[in-house]
Each structure stands twice: as C-alpha cells, then as structure tokens.
Amino acid sequence: MTLIIQCVLLGLLGGLIFSIIGIIPGTDETATMAPLTLILVLMGFPPEAIFCWFIAIAASMHITHIVPTAMAALPGSTMSVPMVSNCIVAKQLGVPHVALRKMATSSFLGAIVALPVSILFATILSPLGEVIEPYVGMIFTFAALLLAYMSSARFGAMIALFPFAIFIQGLQHIAIEAVGASLSVSIFMGITIGPMISEIFNVFIPSIKEKQLRDSKSKVWIAEGNEDDEKFPNPTKILTKKQTIRSTIGAAISACTFTFSPVGMTVMLGELLGGKKNGVYDDTMTTLSVKTAVSNATYIGELMIPLVAFGLPLSPVAIGPAQPLFNAPPRFTSDPINNIHSELGIPEYLIFGCIGLVCAGAIAYTVSVKYAKSWTKIIFKVISHEALIGSFLGLICMLAFYEAGIVGISIALTVGFFGGILHNIFGVNTGIQFMAYYASGWILTLIS
C-alpha cells in the first residue's frame, strides 16, 4: 500500500509539473523530461514509482502541449508542430475551443490505447532480445542512418554521423584519462542542451546578434472561445464516432512502430487517417483528433516496446526523454542490462502504467478543457521562457558535475556546442545525435 501511495503522489506531482510545462510554447521533451527523471532515479525511488512518474509526465505533456497550439498557434512542444497548420484553420473558422477539447480527449484516448497494445506487441518481440543483443552496435548504426535519411538533412545527416561518432569517442578517451571512466550522463545531457547552447552562443557573434535583436516584446494573440469555455465537458461526448474510431486505429498502429520518428508518425498517420473531403470543419477536426492520438500513442509505444521487450534504448523516445529508465549509472545500465526492464514484469507495467495515466488524466485533461484559457494567459505573462531554459541548463550542469565534476560539465558543454551547431544550422537533429552516440563504439571499431 505504501508503494501505491508513493506512485500516486509521484504521478500526480509529475502530472502537475508537466501539465504546466506543456502549456509553455517551445519546450523540448528531452530537455525537460530526462533531467528530472534522472534525478529521481539517482535519488533511489522504487522502479515502480519511477515508471509511473514517466508515464504520467509523458501523457500529461502530450495533452497540455495542445493548449498553446490550439489557442495561439504556437507549438507547446516539438511533438505538437504537426498540428499547427490545422489549428490555424480551426482559428480561422472560429472554433479553437472545440479543437482544443477534441485534441485533449483524443490525446488521452491515444495513451489509453497505446499502453496495452504496446505491452502486447513487446511481449511478442521479447524472445528476440537475446538474438538482438550481440548486434546492438550494428542496430544502432542502422537506426541512426535510417533516422538521418528520414530527416530534412538526408545524406548530409548520414555523412555527419561518422565524424560525430569519432568526436564522441575522442571525448570518452579524454574522460578516461581525466577521471578514469567513460561518461554517459554528461554526453547525453550535452546532446540534450545542444540547440540551447548554440542559440546562446549566437549572442557573442555580432552579425548574428544584429539579426536577432528585437525592438519590442513579442505579442501573442490568444483565440477567444464561446462562453462555455470554462465548463467541464463530458469526454465521452466530445469526439464523433468517426473521430473515435480513426483515432483509436491510429493510436494502435503507432503504438507498434517504435523505431520511427514520433513526429514523422504523427504527420503520416494524421494525413492518412484524417478527414478526407467532408468539408473544412469536419476534415480539420478529424485530422487534429487523429494526430493528437497518434502523438501520445507513439510516445508511449516508443517507451514501452524497447523497455519491456529488450531493456535497450532502441527508439527515439528511449534514447531521448526516457534514457534514464535504461541508463542512469551507477543505478541503471543497458550494458549489461540492469534497469527498469529487469525490475518489472508485465503485471507491474500494466498496473503502474494505468496509475500514471489516471494521474495524468486527472490533472492534464482538467487543465486542458477547463482552465486552458486562464492558465495560458497567466503562464504567457508570468513565466519567462529564458528562465525555464536557464533552470534546465542549471539542472544539467548539476548532473554532469555529479558524474565527473568540472570535466563532466566541460564535456557536456563541448558536446552541446558542436551538437547544437549540427542541429540548428545543418538539420542533424538531436535524435540522430543520440543514435550516433550509442553507435559510436561500434563505428570506431569498424573503421579502426
């Protein structure tokens, strides 16, 4: 009973924190989820509570990130970018409040569908774990090449994998010489903050700084809904039958596609299963419903399948936001496998996963459909985006110092600097860089 209470409290806390973070436009899932989760892991919380926490924060953020997207056409996180164009149409039609309610409902529906489906699919794949393990380096390299090819940088990203892998291994050798051990947390966190570090560095380049200077504060226009905006609607009456069926199908499919980009799956299935020539209003609402269901389901699936089946971070979500569940030395490692995968069984995944979803729904869904407008106004006025970035940079420096002192911070900032340039200027996104990090040992062995 004490464990259940601990899980519920941690799930509610995570739901509250990430319901607020989701409303803040432009937040990055990896930069916010990973550091806080890593702190909980290193503090020694039970694996059940950590798993419950992560399910709650993932579901919460992917419910509330649609609030600024629907209300102000500003993506709450990278996963809500595919919904922006459809939300602009909903605003033009004068129904952003309707779109918001449908998106919040279908997002929660997607998470509910994804949990059992992904666990079932992982159970089917789990016998392959022993077969896959000897070829992990090769699999990471292939996955990195596939992600690179699917990105906007295409062949440039594929070529960049190899020098970046050698760069990572060079820093590992420096770390071994300096502190007597290779680093995991510092390099991982360095990739996480890369885009931020690159943006901050722009301030010191006069020509770039000149272009980015603004004469006045940014203005954000929040859409107005009708007078029923603040009433709590019945979630069973928000989606139409067609929207419910298509959202469920999309969520079930995306919950099994754990090796692909979450944003890519959201766009592809959203357009495939979205509205088709039934009028602008119906098409827009159906497409938004499917996209938000797929967005949340993809995240849950990309966590659950690698975690349950293999214990190895073999998906963009697993190597990004969920990394501390797989690798958090000295407590969790994936080589050898000694992490959440080793600690929990199928019943625990279902029970504590459901607790996490209930906690997320209790807070995030309520915020999204009842307090969306008032919370959005407060957060836009009170919480500085720069302050949020600064707080997470501080957390990451603390974690790097915990691992290797000043050397850890130096390596994290070095990786962040070069990784951020690759991300911001050349389009080699952080997901590709994470895959390159895990493949770097095998790549160096291959070419040496």
pLDDT digits (tens, 9 = 90+) for 410-424: 999 999 999 999 988
Give me the half-sphere count of Cα atoms (radius 13 Å) on the Cβ side of residue 265. 29
Amino acid present at 166: I
pLDDT at 123: 92
Other beta carbons less than 10 A from residue 302's beta carbon:
32
At 226, phi and psi to the nearest 5?
-85, 180
DSSP 222: P
pLDDT at 31: 78
Give the residue extent of every domain in the chain: 2-210+232-447
For 58-115, what is the HEC assignment? Answer: HHHHHHHCHHHHHHHCCCCEHHHHHHHHHHHHHHHCCCHHHHHHHHHHHHHHHHHHHH
pLDDT at 227: 45
pLDDT at 218: 65
- The predicted-structure confidence for 60-97, as pLDDT tens digits, reads as follows 999 998 888 887 777 777 788 788 888 888 877 778 87
Q: Are 259 and 271 in contact (CB under 8 A)?
A: no
Q: Hey, which residues does 27 pair with through a beta bridge?
A: 77
The distance from CA 131 to its chain's CA centroid, rounded to whole angstroms, is 28
Q: Average pLDDT for consecutive 10-residue bins of the chain (448 residues)?
A: 89 93 79 89 93 95 87 76 82 81 91 94 83 74 81 88 93 92 83 84 85 72 55 72 92 84 76 76 90 91 91 83 88 86 92 94 85 70 72 80 90 93 88 82 84
* DSSP H or E run through 422: helix 385-426
